Structure 1
Amino acid sequence: MRDTIDFGIDLGTTNSAIAVVDGGTLQVVKNHDQMDFTPSAIYLRTSSAVQVGAGALEYVYRDPDNAASEFKLEMGQANAGRDFVRAGVRLSPPQMSAEVLKSLRASAATKYGEPPEAAVITVPAAFALNQTNATNEAARLAGFTIDCPLLQEPTAAAFAYGLEDESDRATWMVFDLGGGTFDAAIVRKRDGEFQVINHSGDPYLGGKLIDWAIVDRVLAPAVASRFGLPDFHRDNPKWRMLFALLKGRAENAKVQLSTTDTAWIEVELPVAGGREDFEYTLTRQELEKVAEPFYAQAIRLCRDALTEGGLGAADVDRLLLVGSPTMAPGLRKLLADPTEGLGITLDHSQDPSTVVARGAALFASRLRLQRPMVAPKADEFTVELAYEPVVTAARTIVGGRLHSSSTVDWTRFTVVLRGSGTTSFDSGRLLLNAEGGFMTEVVVTPKETTRFTVELTDATGRRQKLSPDSLSITHTSAPELGSVVLPESLSIAKADNTAAFMLRKGISLPTEITRQFQTTTPVTRSDPNSAVVIPIMQGDRNRADRNLEVGIVYIRPSDIRYDIPIGADVDVTISVNESSLVTVIAELPQASAPIEAEIDMVNVRALDPAALAALLTDAQRRLESLRAAAQAAHAADALALFSQLDKENALGAAVELVRLARTDPGAATPAERALRALLARLDDVADALELPALFGELEEALNGCEEGVRHSGTAQERADLQDLRAQSQQAIANKDATAVRNLTERAHGLIIEIMRRSPTFDLEIFYALRQARDQMTSPRQADTLLWEGEQAISAGDYRALPGVNERLRRLLPTEVADQVMSSGRLKDKQ
């Protein structure tokens, strides 16, 4: 019986593989076709007859009504699935993925006599929470009896590459371009330990897009022209089967072009009432032309990861190539180019199609199988063992605690641990404490697996039946994998649509943080429809709606003991464990108990075609408007961003995906992600255009601080201003619009702190707010507050004004309130 998980699975978009560490040896488990990898494809003859692998892939091209592939890209979407007509069933992406996992488990069972109880399953680093949740569901459906840990694919690949690397210090970048996903990860090796320090990626960028680009931009136009078929395009259901066949031929040709200059494509077409042969010679040059936008996108993501990590290409020792598409000579040439690519030394020494599975198996060999404790039977004993299954030192600690079905005096029992191997070991008799616990140091055989027996004897020296009665510890000199890191940032979406970041990507897991927020809407027990809504977002954009919503905290009337006013304090705690499982808790004095977020990873749905079309129209209009503004202003930074967008064909790719989503539900999620990514990058263009004005606003605010500090500032305020000046210079040098805005806001805050000491400050603010009365959300409430303020002024009760001003300010939109407060400060300054 195994003590460690040992099996690792790369559950891929195009191909999947399973590897194992057995007896200290790492190997790929071959499938029933004696192949190292299994195509991630299924074919259903009936609802109970499922074929998986290469045979099923043939039916994907010839009989798409009864076969499916590339369903990994739809993981986590509640409305996704494939209909299998002959079998009369519809399967979800997790169900289809489970069939692939079952096939891999069966291959392992054939070789080792029984299927694995668990396996480490890899996922793209760029997977969202709902997608990792769907992967867990697939593992459960596949029949694994113990929870399967998830490991990010680039981390697994780096672990496999590092097995044969003897250097103590190195920095690598993983370039993982798979069939459907792309990940870039920066990995640092220090003193025998790996640590992932930054990620970037796209869960919908992969070889599949290149295959379809060959079809849509080369083969389909050639077919339409040669046979006079103006309606020959992919979103026409009439040609669905033929496009599936062309896609398969394109994929095979792409693989061939990794080693040849041309690839021959031949397809029989049902046209003109008969059948005609379509023949085409695809060249490597044509392939590279259609693939270049996808390569450019992957390279940009790598550069983003380097920039975020504070690194340059010169700081990276090697670029580790992972995924079959990285075998393309054109891609390798581009990556090696320091101008168009990355200019980092390429390392393709590992098999790109199985390196992820092998890395996962290495990681799995260091994880104990967490079998559930079984209650001991009468006259038998069980033991909970505590030890590290893989060690790098010759000595390590083993502990345990005994359990019995009845009450016993544990001090009358002893335990002996004996190790077999090149180095024998005998612990001698170990006395148990009153709770049945023991601990001892054991010696293991270097670079071998040492098996230890555990013997329990009573006071008479009679040996007792114990379960489990053995354990194994493997000694290795291979590097350790450091802590797992958060792949994408987590934030709270504030009322003004800005993201309040709680946990930034790259932080080590597990982790937890608590921050305090203020409510912007009231909740009253008399109004059942009132609520405070706290959206939890995943992503790294400062504009909240550019990120992915993964959960919501609702504070409802039923949760509170008494009414919550606007501005009430709410403590929000976000915790994330090693498998990226997120828990969010909101606490406030008015609530009867802490409130947990509804992390909905089951009902995440893609936008429908109409919503996608509207989002596309918005993106097109904004792009045209910003491009015109950039050209008119000769804004070099903005024009450079447009040049990159054009190079990646970002708009064209989004248009194509939105068009396909009308007939292919699987295209909806990639279409939505592409559109939101495009809009986010247009935000960057807008920032670049706005920078000169932002710089001016910041300088004006700093000058205001300077004047205030000179007249009545404290020593601390003078130090704060000096810090603001230094940070402002850095933000301006970096052209960081977000930092400039934040610094401007901080400068305004410093001014208000200084001005607040003026006896006329609250009076000036009140008059400024009175001028904005028509823009307040509740004119009736505003009039009441204004009357209250005027009465306080008439009575000379200026102490009442701060409270009145604060309530008036909350009736204004955030941006208007900021402007009003600024006008009040300017008046006070004058």
Structure 2
Amino acid sequence: MRDTIDFGIDLGTTNSAMAVVRDGTVSVVKNNDGWDYTPSAVWIPKPGVTHVGRSARDRIPSDPDNVHIEFKQEMGLDGAARAFPKAGLSLTPQQLSAEVLKSLRADAAHAFGEAPPAAVITVPAAFRLHENNATGEAAALAGFGTCPLVQEPTAAAFAFGFQNASTDAYWMVFDFGGGTFDSAIVSTHDGELRVLDHAGDPHLGGKLIDWAIVERLLVPAAEAGLGLRGLRRDDPSWRSNFALLKDAAERAKIALSRNEVVELDVELEIGGRKVTFDHALRRDEVDRVAEPYYLRAINLCREALTAAGLGTGDIDRLLLVGGTTLAPGLRERLADPSVGLGIELDHSQDPSTVVARGAAVFASTVPLDRPKARAVAGEFAADLRYPRTTSLDIVPVQGRFESTTGQDWSRFHVVLANESGTPPFRTPQVGLDAQGTFVTEVKLNERTTSTFTVQLVDADGVRYKVNPATASITHVTNELGGQVLTNSLGLSEADGTFTPILHKGARLPAAMSSTFYTTIALHRTDSDAVIRIPLVEGERARADRNLRIGLIEIRPKDVRIDLPSGSEVEITVEVDESRRVTVVADVPLVDEQFEAEIDLSHVRPPDAAALERELREVNGRLAALRGDGRVPAQARQRLDRLENEQVLVLARDEVRAAATDHGSAAAADQRLRDVHAVLDEVEEQSDLRALFDELDQELAQCRELLDRKGAADDHLELADVERRAADLREHPDRAAIEELLNRAVHLATTVMKRDETYDIAIFHHFRANLPKLSQPMRARALIAEGNQALAEGNWRVLPLVNQELRGLWPAGEQDRSPGGVRSMHGRQR
């Protein structure tokens, strides 16, 4: 009987697979077709009839309206359902995924005589919480019980490292699947396999390359060859034909992994008649349209390396995972150090099943969720504690026996024996203490599963029946080091900034607390008042560039006393190994706790019209920054990268498809958020440069003034400001720059007042900015009065003139005259 889950499933966008660990060996569970993987396709031709896998996928040319694929991209999206017209029903992505899982579970039942009660299921590392939650829902719908989730690149690393003798090495997983891309850096050290960092894109996969082939190569060829016009993917009348072209593109792409040219033969329906579209597709054409996707994936790998503090030279092997990595053009690019990564490629594992194998390896470490054994008459129950997998040769086993009747446990001893071991192994006789407990050690055979019988014997040599009767431990070369959090979790503050509480990379399970303060008062007499604390997932500094996942609300009826503004609130975020999230707000003043409502069932991307508006806004912002001379060179490189990776081209394609594809809408929304976030950072760098320029001008003025009339304390103050300014150039901080600018202005003002040039400088400022002043006639009269005072040396008149001129300065316009007081946001008052 199994005591660990043992079964692992790769629930993929294009194909899915299942694997199992038996006696320390991983094997793939074949389906009814004898294949190692099952296409993630569902065909429902009539009520009560459902086909999954190859039989469904093969029906795309003949019945495209009733076959659905690539629904993984829509997992967790509210309102995303696929229609089956002939059957008169529609299924959500979770329900469609459940059909695939049911098929895999049935394959296991056929192979092993019973359906597995549980499995470990993989998810992309870049999946959001609502997508992970939807995967768990699909598992439950498929009839599985406990189904821990493991990240796909982590699972792939487990498969490569399970019985690999490499030690003190760094690997990088390059997982380019049908719908998602993930990279992960893995270390093997002292027998432990550990994920150090990762980067990914949940909307970057082979699916995008297929659509690029369709829209950039096949559609122009079809329009030219068949005399067609207006072939657009977002036109519902062409949906079936685009499904046929997409299927043909994917099959051709796979064939081009072995051939230089592939002949396509697609039967399209045009004007109610069948028309054959013939086309010769070349590998170099596919590589050309796939180039931006390859570049995006490679750059994400470089980001992961930078985050881990490593370079390509530190990585021993690049582990290739996912069907896209079979493309020769991609492999050539990856191996090239100038345009790729230049890391030795490792394709020793089947890229289509390696994730499932790794999931099974992880599953072999997870105990099955079974009730604790209970003693019955004539039988002793054993509560045993031991590692299911380990890289150690000798491991401790502890346990406690229970009986339905009172026992003098000192009369008993226990022996653990592995008679089939090489060589056979038996522990010494270990006596039990008064509570029936024991501790012993067992020796394992390397790289296999050792199964020990539990023998309970009394002082008379009588052996008793024990439940469970065996304990199995698998020896592995590299022990699994656990999983990490893939996206930071925190809250949106009142000013719109995102403050992480649990950071990306935290080892799971994890918990962390942070203290915040309310910005409004909550009076019990005001029934409409509410304190809202939005919970956010992501990495962007602006909260609205991330994904909102929940909300904490505190209302007057929830507190016993009024809650003043500035009250302390401690937020605690907990995440378990399957990324289930709990968030609690503790308010000490009222001694109350408030649990967040984590609503992952109503995530809905914007509609196509909203995405079109967002795309126009992004293009406008990018054009403005391109023409802004203040943008520093390093920031311009960020803009260049957006163009080199054709990020906006990808976003435009997804926006065009959003009207008919919920997955494309979600992808477009995320991609546009990411571009906005990059432009935010570029604008911030431009603003910082402008602040530094202004600070340099103030410091130059200070040096000139101090050379003329500076005291010793003035020179010390200037030296401190200049020293801090030099530090800030290495580590810019807007608030700190603002503070230094205020100090420099104050120092200049102090010195000018000392040598009576202060009012003259202010007057010169207003005179130079005469066109900005309101009430032009009055402004000119005041300037004339000031000029006369200067000519006559009448210094007592200038302060009065300046005071009136300041009243004519337009509201909202930044006043850079000497002596202005700067706020924390850099505006002068």
TM-score with structure 1 setting the length: 0.83
Cα separation, partners in 2 of 1:351 and 1:824, compared to 1, 3 Å: closer
Please give the secondary structure, in 2, of the residue aligned with 1:245.
helix
Deviation of the 1:540 alpha carbon: 1.2
* CA deviation vs aligned residue, 1:493-541 (integer Å, no higher than 9, x gap): 1111111122221222222222111111222222233222222211111
Deviation of the 1:600 alpha carbon: 1.5
Deviation of the 1:697 alpha carbon: 6.3
Q: Name the amino acid aligned to 2:227.
A: G
Which residue number in structure 2 is paired with residue 648 of structure 1?
645
Aligned-partner Cα distance in 2 for 1:748–1:456: 80
Comparing 461-470 with 646-655, greater Cα deviation is found at 461-470
Deviation of the 1:471 alpha carbon: 1.3
Aligned-partner Cα distance in 2 for 1:639–1:647: 12
Which residue number in structure 1 is paired with residue 677 of structure 2?
680
Aligned-partner Cα distance in 1 for 2:404–2:527: 52
Cα separation, partners in 2 of 1:118 and 1:701, compared to 1, 3 Å: farther
* CA deviation vs aligned residue, 1:552-594 (integer Å, no higher than 9, x gap): 2222223212121221111111222222222211111234522
Q: Name the amino acid aligned to 1:643.
A: D
Which residue number in structure 2 is paired with residue 170 of structure 1?
169
Which residue number in structure 1 is paired with residue 354 of structure 2?
355
Please give the secondary structure, in 2, of the residue aligned with 1:521.
coil
Which residue number in structure 1 is paired with residue 761 of structure 2?
none
Please give the secondary structure, in 1, of the residue aligned with 2:208.
helix
Please give the secondary structure, in 1, of the residue aligned with 2:43.
strand
Aligned-partner Cα distance in 1 for 2:414–2:371: 22
Aligned-partner Cα distance in 2 for 1:319–1:465: 51
Equivalence map 1:438-457=2 (5 Å): 438-456=438-456
* CA deviation vs aligned residue, 1:91-114 (integer Å, no higher than 9, x gap): 221221111112112222222222
Which residue number in structure 2 is paired with residue 525 of structure 1?
524
Comparing 199-208 with 115-124, greater Cα deviation is found at 115-124
Cα separation, partners in 2 of 1:409 and 1:582, compared to 1, 3 Å: farther
Which residue number in structure 1 is paired with residue 709 of structure 2?
none
Aligned-partner Cα distance in 2 for 1:409–1:122: 48
Aligned-partner Cα distance in 1 for 2:18–2:341: 31
Structure 2 residue 498 is matched with structure 1 residue 487 = no
Identity of aligned residues (%): 49
Indicate if the aligned counterparts of 1:559 and 1:592 stay in contact, CA closer than 8 A.
no
Which residue number in structure 2 is paired with residue 541 of structure 1?
540
Equivalence map 1:470-619=2 (5 Å): 470-476=470-476, 478-619=477-618
Which residue number in structure 2 is paired with residue 133 of structure 1?
133
Which residue number in structure 2 is paired with residue 70 of structure 1?
70
Cα separation, partners in 2 of 1:442 and 1:726, compared to 1, 3 Å: farther
Indicate if the aligned counterparts of 2:68 and 2:82 stay in contact, CA closer than 8 A.
yes
Indicate if the aligned counterparts of 1:705 and 1:750 stay in contact, CA closer than 8 A.
no
Q: Name the amino acid aligned to 2:616.
A: T
TM-score with structure 2 setting the length: 0.83
Which residue number in structure 2 is paired with residue 401 of structure 1?
400
Residue among 689, 695, 701 paired with 2:686: 689
Which residue number in structure 2 is paired with residue 37 of structure 1?
37
Aligned-partner Cα distance in 2 for 1:536–1:24: 42
Indicate if the aligned counterparts of 2:42 and 2:53 stay in contact, CA closer than 8 A.
yes
Equivalence map 1:628-643=2 (5 Å): 628-629=627-628, 632=629, 635-643=632-640
Cα separation, partners in 2 of 1:467 and 1:599, compared to 1, 3 Å: same
Aligned-partner Cα distance in 2 for 1:133–1:750: 52
* CA deviation vs aligned residue, 1:61-87 (integer Å, no higher than 9, x gap): 432332211111111112222122222
Deviation of the 1:596 alpha carbon: 1.4
Indicate if the aligned counterparts of 2:175 and 2:322 stay in contact, CA closer than 8 A.
yes
Deviation of the 1:35 alpha carbon: 0.9
Aligned-partner Cα distance in 2 for 1:825–1:578: 41
Indicate if the aligned counterparts of 1:41 and 1:60 stay in contact, CA closer than 8 A.
no
Which residue number in structure 1 is paired with residue 424 of structure 2?
424
Q: Name the amino acid aligned to 1:263.
A: V
* CA deviation vs aligned residue, 1:212-251 (integer Å, no higher than 9, x gap): 1111111112222333332321111111111101100000
Aligned-partner Cα distance in 2 for 1:64–1:610: 27
Deviation of the 1:21 alpha carbon: 1.8
Which residue number in structure 2 is paired with residue 160 of structure 1?
159
Deviation of the 1:656 alpha carbon: 2.1
Aligned-partner Cα distance in 1 for 2:434–2:168: 47
Aligned-partner Cα distance in 1 for 2:54–2:824: 72
Q: Name the amino acid aligned to 2:301.
A: C
Cα separation, partners in 2 of 1:442 and 1:253, compared to 1, 3 Å: same
Deviation of the 1:380 alpha carbon: 4.7
Aligned-partner Cα distance in 2 for 1:272–1:577: 56
Which residue number in structure 1 is paired with residue 312 of structure 2?
313
Cα separation, partners in 2 of 1:450 and 1:344, compared to 1, 3 Å: closer
Structure 2 residue 254 is matched with structure 1 residue 255 = yes
Comparing 417-426 with 228-237, greater Cα deviation is found at 417-426
Indicate if the aligned counterparts of 1:8 and 1:361 stay in contact, CA closer than 8 A.
yes
Which residue number in structure 2 is paired with residue 81 of structure 1?
81
Which residue number in structure 1 is paired with residue 466 of structure 2?
466
Comparing 423-432 with 181-190, greater Cα deviation is found at 423-432
Cα separation, partners in 2 of 1:163 and 1:452, compared to 1, 3 Å: closer
* CA deviation vs aligned residue, 1:247-282 (integer Å, no higher than 9, x gap): 000001111111211111111222355322111111
Aligned-partner Cα distance in 2 for 1:34–1:690: 62
Aligned-partner Cα distance in 2 for 1:398–1:701: 72
* CA deviation vs aligned residue, 1:404-444 (integer Å, no higher than 9, x gap): 56776656665443332234344455444454433222233
Q: Name the amino acid aligned to 2:13.
A: T
Please give the secondary structure, in 2, of the residue aligned with 1:491.
strand
The number of aligned residues is 752
Aligned-partner Cα distance in 1 for 2:702–2:5: 61
Deviation of the 1:38 alpha carbon: 0.8
Q: Name the amino acid aligned to 1:248.
A: D
Structure 2 residue 737 is matched with structure 1 residue 744 = yes
Equivalence map 1:42-441=2 (5 Å): 42-145=42-145, 147-163=146-162, 165-373=164-372, 375-377=374-376, 380-403=379-402, 414-420=413-419, 421-427=421-427, 430-441=430-441
Comparing 462-471 with 343-352, greater Cα deviation is found at 462-471
Aligned-partner Cα distance in 1 for 2:184–2:742: 39
Cα separation, partners in 2 of 1:713 and 1:113, compared to 1, 3 Å: farther
Which residue number in structure 1 is paired with residue 655 of structure 2?
658
Indicate if the aligned counterparts of 2:398 and 2:437 stay in contact, CA closer than 8 A.
yes
Deviation of the 1:750 alpha carbon: 11
Indicate if the aligned counterparts of 2:176 and 2:323 stay in contact, CA closer than 8 A.
yes
Indicate if the aligned counterparts of 2:156 and 2:358 stay in contact, CA closer than 8 A.
yes
Aligned-partner Cα distance in 2 for 1:524–1:749: 38
Indicate if the aligned counterparts of 2:630 and 2:690 stay in contact, CA closer than 8 A.
no
For structure 1, the 5+ residue unaligned runs are 732-738, 755-812
Indicate if the aligned counterparts of 2:195 and 2:484 stay in contact, CA closer than 8 A.
yes
Aligned-partner Cα distance in 2 for 1:356–1:225: 42
Q: Name the amino acid aligned to 1:74.
A: E
Cα separation, partners in 2 of 1:333 and 1:449, compared to 1, 3 Å: closer
Aligned-partner Cα distance in 2 for 1:234–1:556: 48
Q: Which has the larger radius of gyration?
A: 2
Cα separation, partners in 2 of 1:275 and 1:577, compared to 1, 3 Å: closer
Q: Name the amino acid aligned to 2:68.
A: A
Comparing 273-282 with 453-462, greater Cα deviation is found at 453-462
Cα separation, partners in 2 of 1:359 and 1:622, compared to 1, 3 Å: same
Deviation of the 1:131 alpha carbon: 0.9
Indicate if the aligned counterparts of 2:66 and 2:83 stay in contact, CA closer than 8 A.
yes
Aligned-partner Cα distance in 2 for 1:462–1:473: 27
Cα separation, partners in 2 of 1:370 and 1:439, compared to 1, 3 Å: farther
Cα RMSD for the two superposed structures = 3.5
Comparing 126-135 with 552-561, greater Cα deviation is found at 552-561
